[in-house]
């Protein structure tokens, strides 16, 4: 005779236990895109029926040898042990993940090329402006070249910081070849206007160099810093253009 109360409690227990279970997810995956979802339903339902049949027959057989409270206690202990094992597995996985040492950041190949080229470029510019400042000391031109040398020293420091903080910076294209330094040694043998004109062309090329680098950088902080360097180099070109037009250099107020 069917015990409907036992039937209802068993149905509710199994239904709630199977919600979100891997069996249900497997049925969901199998029916996705299937031409006959009812075939999937029939197969999954049959598998559950067979598995449940095995479990009930095994439980009925064990009841002949063990009291019912032993079986329920054993089932509870097994559930408890499985839960403990799952928790231990989760904690071990977490500890293993935390124990993995972080790899030290190594600059990418393209990043190294970009930053090293830019720093070498600024070092050469700084050296050239120092030479020009000494060659034209005690003049408007000497004051201007001295100011530009100090600015280039600040650019070099900024690039060194960028290389240290963003050694893994990503670039959309290969490194752009920086422009050549102004060639101060050769300019020393010419008049000051020729030296200033050469320096202005150099600063215009430097502006384009940093703008192009900023456009191809994938990291906002690097892009912003390179854009600021481009703005500063463009300001240098403006100083030199004004000097060529007026013969005077007005150092910007801080």
The continuous run of DSSP H or E covering 43 comes out as helix 37-63
Model confidence over 113-168: pLDDT tens digits? 677 777 887 888 888 888 888 887 778 888 888 888 888 888 888 888 877 777 66
Single out the residue of 166, 155, 164, 170 nearest to residue 216, CA to CA: 170
pLDDT the model gives residue 112: 67
pTM of the model: 0.49
Residue 88 has pLDDT above 60, yes or no: yes
Q: What's the distance, Cα to Cα, between the start and end of the chain in Å?
A: 98
In the structure encoding, which two tokens stand for residue 250, read together? 């007005």
Mean pLDDT across the stretch 39-60?
82
Q: 28-42, 109-123, 181-195, 219-233: which has the minimum mean pLDDT?
A: 181-195
Q: 21-25, 46-50, 217-221, 234-238: which has the minimum mean pLDDT?
A: 21-25
Residue 97 has pLDDT above 80, yes or no: no
Q: What is the mean pLDDT of the chain?
A: 75
Residue 70 has pLDDT above 80, yes or no: no
pLDDT the model gives residue 231: 92
Q: 1-15, 55-69, 182-196, 232-246: which has the minimum mean pLDDT?
A: 182-196
Q: Which CATH class is domain 109-246?
A: mainly alpha
Mean pLDDT across the stretch 219-227?
83
In the structure encoding, which two tokens stand for residue 231, read together? 């703005």
Residue 228 has pLDDT above 80, yes or no: yes
- Contacts of residue 159, Cβ cutoff 8 Å, sequence gap at least 6: 115, 118, 119, 122, 229
Residue range(s) in the chain whose domain bears CATH number 1.20.1260.10: 109-246
Residue 80 has pLDDT above 70, yes or no: yes
Q: Check: CB of residue 141 under 8 Å from CB of residue 192.
A: yes
Model confidence over 160-213: pLDDT tens digits? 887 777 766 555 554 556 666 555 444 444 578 888 888 888 888 888 888 888
Mean pLDDT across the stretch 102-106?
43
């Amino acid at each position: 005779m069917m015990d409907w109360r036992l039937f209802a409690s068993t149905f509710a227990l199994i239904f709630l236990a199977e919600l979100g279970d891997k069996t249900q997810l497997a049925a969901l995956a199998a029916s996705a895109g299937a031409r006959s979802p009812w075939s999937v339903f029939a197969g999954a339902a049959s598998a559950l029926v067979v598995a449940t049949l095995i479990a009930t027959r095994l439980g009925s057989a064990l009841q002949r040898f063990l009291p019912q409270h032993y079986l329920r206690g054993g089932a509870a202990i097994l559930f408890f042990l499985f839960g403990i094992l799952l928790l231990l597995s989760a904690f071990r996985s977490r500890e293993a993940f935390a124990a993995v040492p972080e790899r030290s950041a190594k600059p990418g190949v393209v990043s190294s090329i970009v930053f090293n080229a830019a720093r070498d470029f600024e070092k050469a510019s700084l050296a050239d402006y120092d030479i020009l400042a000494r060659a034209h000391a005690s003049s408007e031109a000497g004051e201007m070249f001295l100011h530009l040398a100090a600015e280039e020293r600040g650019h070099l420091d900024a690039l060194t910081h960028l290389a240290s903080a963003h050694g893994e910076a990503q670039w959309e294209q290969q490194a752009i070849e920086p422009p050549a330094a102004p060639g101060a040694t050769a300019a020393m043998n010419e008049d000051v206007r020729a030296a200033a004109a050469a320096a202005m062309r150099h600063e215009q090329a430097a502006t384009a160099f940093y703008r192009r680098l900023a456009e191809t950088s994938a990291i906002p902080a690097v892009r912003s810093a390179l854009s600021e360097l481009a703005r500063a180099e463009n300001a240098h070109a403006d100083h030199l253009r004004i000097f060529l037009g007026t013969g005077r250099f007005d150092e910007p107020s801080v």
